[in-house]
Amino acid sequence: MRASFTAQGSATTDCDDRVLASVFGAYTVSATFWLLFATAVGVLMAYKFGAPDFWPGQWLTFGRLRPIHTNDTFYGWASLALVGIAYYVVARSSRTPLYSAKLAWIGLALFNLAAVAGTIALDLGYNDGDLEYREWPWPIRLIFLAALVVTAWNLLVTVARRTTKDIYLSNWYILGGVLWTCIIAVVAILPWYQHGLGQVAVSGFYMHNAVGMWFTPLALGIFYYALPKLLNRPIYSYALGVFAFWTNLVFYPIIGSHHFLFSPLPWFLQTTAIVFSVAMLVPVWGGSANFLLTMRGRMQEMAHSFPLMFIFVGVIGYLVGSTQGTFEAFRSLQEVWHLTNFTVGHSHLTMYGFVTFAIWGGVYALLPLATGKEPSRLGLGLHFWTALVGSFIYVISLSVGGTVQGLDWIRGLPFIQSVADMQSYWVWRGVGGSLMLLSHLVFAWNVWRMTYGRGQSPRDDSAAADGAAP
Ligand code: HEM
Ligand code: HEM
C-alpha cells in the first residue's frame, strides 16, 4: 500500500487518502449546491428592487427570500465549504488520517438537514423573529449546533492524534473558530436573558461573531495552508500569524455593539465596541501583511495560477473590507451609512470578496491534490473573471448608492426621493449579481470535473504537491 509522508515518519495509507478525498469532495459538492440556490434567490431579490411585483406570490416575497438567502449563503454555502477544506487541512498538516469518516458524514447530513428544514420553514413563514442570521426556528438551529459539535470533536481529535510535534498555524485558526462557534451557537439559543435591550446586545454579539469568529478564522486558516503549498515556501512569519490569532481572539468578541450605535444600548458599551473596532486593525493588518509578504517577489507566478489569484483577491478583500469596517464603526460615518445599502456593500465585500474567494482559492489549490483531477484553465479563467467583475460592480454600485442614500436622509429629503435615487444603483447591483451567478455555474462545472466527472490529470508542478506547509 502506498503511504504518504513516510519521510516524516508517519503514514497515511491509500485508503485514508481516498476517504479524505471523498469527504472533502462531498462537502464541496453540497456547498456548491447551496451557493447556486442561495445566490439564485439573491439575484431574484436584486431584481425585485426594481420590479417589486415580479412573482408576487407569498412564497416569493422579499421578506421570506431575504433570510433564506442570508442563512443559506452562511450555513449552506460558506460553512459547508469551509468545513470540507478544514478536514483536509487538519488531517494533512497533522500528518494523520481523519479521526472519523463516520462523524464527518453525520456532520454533513446534519448540516444539510438543517439547511433544508430552515429553508422550508422560512419560506412557509416560520421565522424565529427579528434576529439576523438566526431566523431558523430554534429546533432547526439545534440541528445545526449538533452538526457543529460533531465537526469540532472530529477536528479536535484529529489534531490531538497528530504525528507532528507542533500544531500547525492553520489548525490554531480552524480549532479556535470551530470551538468558539459552538459557544456562540449555544448563546444564541438560550432564551432567558434575551429580552429587551439584552436581546439587542446578544444579537450584536451573535451577528458579529458569526462573521468574525467562524468564517474569518477558518478562511485565514486556509490562507496559511494553501499559500505555502502553492508557492512552495514557508509563511513569511509564523510568529506574526500567532500574534494575529490571539489579538483576533481578544478584540473580535467585544465589537458586536457597533451594529447598534445610537441605540438605547449603554453609551460606554457602544464606545467600547468602537475602540475595539479600531484595535481590530492590528490582527487585520498583521495577518494581511503576513500573506502579502509571503507572496512578495512571486507575483508574476499569479498570472499562471488561478488558485493564487483567487487567494490574492481574498487577502485584499479581507484587508480592504475589514479596514472599511473600522471606519464604518466611527459615529461620524455611521451617521451617513447606518441602515443604508452601504452596509450591504460591506457585507458582500467581506463575505464574498474575502470569504468566498478564500474558499475558491482553497478548493482549487487543494481539491485536485485530494482527488487527482483538475478543472480546465478555461473553466478557471471564466470563473475568476466573471466573479471578480460581477462582485466589483455589485460592491461599487452599493457603496456609492448607499452614500447617496445616507446623504439624502441627512438632508431631510422625502424618503421616496432616496428610493428614486437608488434605482440605477440597484439595476447595476442586479447586473453584477447576474455575472456572479454565472460564475457560480462555471464553478459548479469545475467542481464536477474535480470530483465525480472527468477532470484533467493533476498539475505536474510539484511545488503544489509538496509545498512548504506540512
Ligand atoms: C474586523 C474588522 C471589521 C469591522 C470593524 C467591521 C465593522 C462593521 C460595522 C460597523 C458594521 C455595521 C454597519 C451598520 O450597521 O451600519 C458591519 C456590518 C457587517 N459586517 Fe463588518 N466589520 C469588520 C469585518 C468584517 C468581516 C471580516 C466580515 C465577514 C467575514 C464582516 C461582515 C459584516 C456583515 C455581514 C455585516 C452586516 C451585518 C448586518 O446584517 O447588519 N465584517 N461591520
Ligand atoms: C449572485 C450573488 C449574490 C447576490 C445577487 C446577492 C444579493 C443580495 C441581496 C439583494 C440582498 C438583500 C439586500 C437588502 O436587504 O437590501 C443580500 C443580502 C445579503 N447577502 Fe447576498 N447576494 C449574493 C451573494 C452572496 C453571498 C455568496 C453571500 C455570503 C457568502 C451573501 C451574503 C449576504 C448577506 C450577509 C446579506 C445581508 C446584508 C446586510 O444586511 O447588510 N450574498 N444579498
Per-residue pLDDT, 241: 97
Checking if the pLDDT of 464 tops 60, the result is no
Q: How far apart are CA 290 and CA 224, in angstroms?
A: 9
Look at residue 158 in the predicted model and tell me its pLDDT: 97
Q: pLDDT class for 84, splitting at 50, 70, 90?
A: very high
| Most ligand 2 atoms within 8 A of CB, residue of 74, 334, 347, 440 to mutate | 347
Q: What's the gap in Å between 297 CA and the centre of ligand 1?
A: 32
What would the mean pLDDT of 339-354 be, rounded to a whole number? 98
**Between helices 79-93 and 216-231, what is the axis angle to 10°?**
50
Tens digit of each residue's pLDDT (9 = 90 or more) over 157-171: 999 999 999 999 999
Range in 107-111, 134-138, 382-386, 427-431 with the lowest mean pLDDT: 134-138
Q: What percent of the chain has pLDDT over 90?
A: 81
Q: CA-to-CA distance for 193 and 202, rounded, in angstroms?
A: 9
Model pTM above 0.75:
yes
- Could you give the CA distance from residue 381 to residue 387 in angstroms, rounded to a whole number? 10
Query: pLDDT tens digit string along 216-268?
Result: 999 999 999 999 999 999 999 999 999 999 999 999 999 999 999 999 999 99
Specify burial of residue 195 (Cβ count, 10 A radius: 0-12, 13-18, 19+).
exposed
Mean pLDDT of the chain: 92
pLDDT tens sequence across 434-462: 999 999 999 999 999 999 887 676 654 43
Across residues 356-366, what is the average pLDDT? 98
Is residue 429 a contact partner of residue 398, using CB atoms and an 8 Å limit? Answer: yes
H or E element, residue 30: helix 14-48
Q: Is 78 in the pocket of ligand 2 (CB under 6 A)?
A: yes
- Per-residue pLDDT band for 6 (boundaries 50, 70, 90) equals very low
Angstrom distance (rounded) from CA 448 to CA 445: 5
The verdict on the CB of residue 337 being under 6 Å from ligand 1 is yes
Residue 127 has pLDDT above 90, yes or no: yes
Probe ligand 1: pick from 132, 327, 343, 405, max atoms within 8 Å of CB? 343
User: Does residue 7 carry a pLDDT above 60?
Assistant: no
- Averaged over 80-89, what is the pLDDT? 98
Atom 7 of ligand 2 has which residue's CA nearest to it? Answer: 42
For ligand 1, atom 12: residue with the closest CA:
259
Answer yes or no: is the C-beta of 329 below 6 A from any ligand 1 atom: yes
Confidence of residue 129 (pLDDT cuts 50, 70, 90): confident
Please tell me the residue having the least CA distance from ligand 1 atom 16. Answer: 338
Tell me the C-alpha distance between 131 and 198, whole Å: 12
Ligand 1 center to residue 327 CA distance, Å?
11
45: left (phi over 0), alpha (psi -120 to 50) or beta: alpha
Can you say how many angstroms the Cα of residue 41 is from the centroid of all Cα atoms in its chain? Answer: 18
* Residue 48 CB less than 6 A away from ligand 2: no
CB of 368 closer than 8 Å to CB of 28? no
Rounded CA gap, 254 and 421, in Å? 36
Condensed to tens digits (0 to 9), the pLDDT of residues 54-81 reads: 888 889 999 999 999 999 999 999 999 9
Decide if pLDDT at 130 tops 80: no
Question: Is the minimum distance from the CB of 351 to ligand 2 under 6 angstroms?
Answer: yes
Query: Cα separation of 342 and 400, whole Å?
Result: 7
The CATH code that applies to domain 8-167 is: 1.20.120
pLDDT tens digits along 90-113: 999 999 999 999 999 999 999 999
Rounded Cα distance, 392 and 436, in Å: 10
Among protein residues, the one whose CA lies closest to atom 13 of ligand 2: 344
Which residue has the least CA distance to atom 17 on ligand 2? 42
Distance spanning both ends of the chain, measured CA to CA: 22
Say how many Å lie between the CA of residue 159 and the centre of ligand 2.
34
CB 167 within 8 A of CB 159: yes
The whole-number pLDDT of residue 459 equals: 55
Most confident of 3-12, 47-56, 290-299: 290-299
Measured CA to CA, the distance from residue 50 to residue 39 in angstroms comes to 18
300-323 CB burial, b ≥16 within 10 A, e <16: ebbeebbbbbbbbbbbbbbbbbbe
Atom of ligand 2 nearest to the CA of 355: 30
